[in-house]
Structure 1
Amino acid sequence: MEEKKVENQMNIEISEETADGIYSNLAIISHSNQEFVVDFVRMMPNLPKAKVKSRIILSPSHAKRLMLALEENIKKFEKQHGKIKDGGAPMPPINFNIPNAEA
């Protein structure tokens, strides 16, 4: 019996460290005309300071594919586990501690 060859198949590897993942409970999204930047932040209770744990830079077309994939996966999740409740908590004020630019 002949084995069918799948065209355009991609093998993806993941290191053990990356597979462990990074917990984030806040994502900050910004964009320019060339890219979207998603900063994943971990905020801890009673701590006024939080750090960006990971930054992902995406092309506009990839950002849109990611949005559609997330939307599809959220629908599947809610169908299986019930509606996800919005946390309802207001977003805290964010200060990036970026120095003012001077000419």
Structure 2
Amino acid sequence: MADQQKDKNQNQLNIELSEDIADGIYSNLAVITHSNAEFVIDFVRVMPGMPKAKVKSRILLTPQHAKRLMNALADNISKFEAVHGKISNTKGPDGGIPMGFSGPTAQA
């Protein structure tokens, strides 16, 4: 029993989250590219009426970690939908990813 507890403690990872990272970065677009060695995910914030958008964060992953992330997201989405209902899949006017914002244009 003591050996099992010791093994469990050795397999635990202590993760530190600093205040500036804990605030997070809002993103409403992710651009994913890959090479034979890594996946690159650029998180972008697109603003209405702005023709240019900046990458707010870039994450590099090994192919194995990318697949683990995909599986973890799928699992979490299933759990979310079980509690909150199905997430609707919004499509753009051409049937692809929606890039614009709907609603009236703001005027000053």
Give the alignment's TM-score, normalised by structure 2.
0.78
Q: Which residue of 1 aligns with 2:102?
A: none
The alignment status of 1:55 with 2:39, answered yes or no, reads no
Cα deviations by residue, 1:32-86 (Å, 9 ceiling, x for unpaired): 0000000000000111110000000000000000000000000000000000011
Q: What is the 5 A alignment of 1:12-91?
A: 12-89=15-92, 90-91=96-97
Identity of aligned residues (%): 64
State the number of aligned residues.
Answer: 90
Structure 1 runs of 4+ with >2 Å offset: 4-7, 89-92
More helix by share: 2
Other structure's SS at 2:20 match: helix
Q: Which runs of 5+ in 2 are unaligned?
A: 100-108
* d(CA) in 1 for partners of 2:20, 2:66: 24
Give the alignment's TM-score, normalised by structure 1.
0.82
Higher alpha-carbon deviation: 26-35 or 82-91: 82-91
Task: Compute the displacement of 1:87 (Å).
Answer: 2.0
